Structures are given as C-alpha cells and as structure tokens.
Amino acid sequence: MKTIAVIPAGGKGIRGGSSVPKQYLKFNSKELIVYALEAFQLNQLIDEIVISAEPKYFESLNELKSKYNLSKIVDIVEGGNERQDSVYNALKSINKSSPDDLIAVHDAARPLLPQKVLTDAIKMAKEKGNALVCIKSKDTLIKGNKVVENYLDRDEIFYVQTPQIFPFGVLIKAMKKAYEENFIGTDESVLIRRIGEKVNIVEGSAFNFKITTEEDIELFEKLVKSKSI
C-alpha cells in the first residue's frame, strides 16, 4: 500500500492581493508551496507526491523540485477550474494505483503542516480507513446576520483542515458520482459523505492554517521570521 500526496495548486490567489498566485510568493527566499511540499517530502510515510497546477507554472515547479530536492514528486498535472477538478486530474494521472492506496489531499496554501499531524492522520487512515484533519472550536460561536440569533454548541463544531486522506478506490468512486450528478463539493470529505462513508476526525493544529487573505500572508511572514523556517 502506497500513500500518495495530492497537492492542488491551481488557485489564482486573487484574495491574497497579489498578481502572482499566493502559492508562488516567496518568504525568506522560499516559495510558499515549497514549505507545504517539504512536509510531505520529509515524512517517511509518504511515498509519492502529485501536484495539480496551471501549465504556465510547470517549469517553475520542476525547477523547485530540483532546487529543493523534492524527489517524491512523480508528476505535475494540469489543474482545473475547481479544487475538485484539480484533485480529479491528479487521480486520473495515478489511475494504475491499487484501490487501497491512500490519497492525502493537502492545500498548497497550508505551509506549516506539523509532522505529527501528518503522521497521525496517515496512521488513522491506515487503521480506520480514512482521516480528516480538523481543529476543535475554542471560541463562542453564534448564528445570525448583523444581530445574534442563536448560540452554537462549540463542543460539536470543528474547523476542517487538510490533509484529507482516503483510499484511492473510494475517493475516485465519490468523485465520479459527484460529476454524474453535477455536484461540486467544497472538499473531499463532502464527496465521501455523499456516498455513505463515515469520515474519521483526527486532531489538527492552529499552525496548519490556510493562507487566503493579506492578513494570513502577514501572519505567515511573522511566523517564518520568528521560527527561522
């Protein structure tokens, strides 16, 4: 059984306030996506990495592969309009995989994935069939629009992160069903739930945040400098 990381990196990064997709911005002279890729390169439980990206960045990604010795990258495929399309294209590129091979989908814009979180998620997926990295809500949560309408029980609320790890056969089945029904999911776990599968939660980390806004970029810059990453 292999564990293959799929990194959808086709986003345009418009919300980050930059003309360059955020995954290619440099922090301490290193591209954001490299931080994410290195987490998988360094983990002994990861066998291969496949990236989905815009074709115009293929050359840059291959240069980064050589520069940072990212030897586990086995393919770079064209991304799609939606995250779901990018992941599906990656799956099609590895369609000779065993149905039991684990696919770990991780956002290119989550650069600070701790090794423990990744390892714990892979181990849970091997033991229980799949794993969804989440963090439990620590704040009071409300529902409303301009005024408070209700309070939610935070003990039952989680923030979903990545990686999301599922067997190849199950994930490809879920994606094919979604396309047959013209359904676009926000992430892989939504698609898996649609085919009746239980999804197991594994503890994530506040460091594993997704860089989306200019404030996120500013926070990451400060963390990189303080931790000398």
- CATH code for position 190: 3.90.550.10
Say how many domains are in the chain: 1
pTM: 0.93
Which uninterrupted H or E stretch holds 19?
none
pLDDT bucket at 21, cuts 50 / 70 / 90: confident
- Residue written as token pair 């590895």: 94
Residue 30 tokens read as 């290193």
CA proximity to 62, closest of 87, 80, 86, 37:
37
Mode of pairing for the β-strands spanning 131-136 and 48-53: unpaired
Q: What is the predicted pLDDT for the residue at 2?
A: 95
17 has a pLDDT exceeding 90: no
**Segment 164-218, tens digit of pLDDT:** 999 999 999 999 999 999 999 999 999 999 999 999 999 999 999 999 999 999 9
Q: Can you give the residue range of the structural domain that contains 10? A: 3-227
Q: Percent of the chain at pLDDT above 90? A: 79
d(CA 141, CA 156) in angstroms, rounded, equals 11
What pLDDT, on the 0 to 100 scale, is given for residue 16?
Answer: 47
Mean pLDDT of the chain: 93
For residue 125, pLDDT over 50 is answered with yes
The side-by-side arrangement of strands in the sheet containing 73-78 is 73-78, 48-53, 3-9, 102-105, 158-167, 131-136, 201-203
Residue 96 confidence class, pLDDT cut points 50, 70, 90: confident
Whether the predicted pLDDT of 5 surpasses 50: yes
CA distance 49 to 76: 9
Question: Does the pLDDT value for residue 95 go beyond 80?
Answer: no
**Residues 149, 144: Cα–Cα separation, whole Å:** 5
pLDDT the model gives residue 229: 53
Say whether pLDDT at 13 is over 70: no
Give the ranges where the chain is alpha helix by DSSP (H): 32-42, 58-67, 83-93, 115-128, 168-180, 188-194, 214-227
Q: Is the pLDDT of residue 15 over 60?
A: no
